[in-house]
Amino acid sequence: MREDTDYLQLITILEEADRQMYGRAEIGPLRETVIGRMESAIISRKQIEAYLRTLQTVVHSEAPYTTVDTDALLPDILEHGFGCLPDHELVRLCLNPVALSTLRLCVIDQFPDYWSELMAKAAQEKM
């Protein structure tokens, strides 16, 4: 339940930033937190399910999904993680459950080096 509350707070901040900047959000000091939370979510089935459940509740009740050119962004994200994205694309991706689900499936299917290192690090931290 706490995780859902944390995600709700994060989604609310991202959605507000996106709305205020008309799709050109800048998140400044929150950038590293957003990247860390989202990369952790992508590599954990439990976390991504909690995030998507919360996101779909917010998105369904307030606005349509943000648009994301997943095909254009995916190769760079698979190779370098979320940190390669400018703020506005990072925010739009984090607000799109379909794009996040696609990314998760690609990470699991392709198991690129960047993401496998994150998974290994997360596994070590659990020990």
Residues in the chain: 127
Cα separations in angstroms, 30 against 48, 64, 97: 19, 24, 20
Helices (H) and strands (E) in the chain, counts: 7, 0
- Residues 3-22 have a mean pLDDT of 85
DSSP class of residue 85 equals S
Tokens of 106: 């690609």
More confident residue, 65 or 96: 96
87-94 vs 70-80: helix crossing angle, rounded to 10: 100
Question: Residue 26: its pLDDT value, please?
Answer: 84
**1: three-class secondary structure by DSSP:** coil
Question: Residue 121: its pLDDT value, please?
Answer: 93
pLDDT tens digits along 62-94: 555 567 788 889 999 999 999 999 999 999 999
pTM across the whole model: 0.86
How do the domains of the chain map onto residue ranges? 2-126
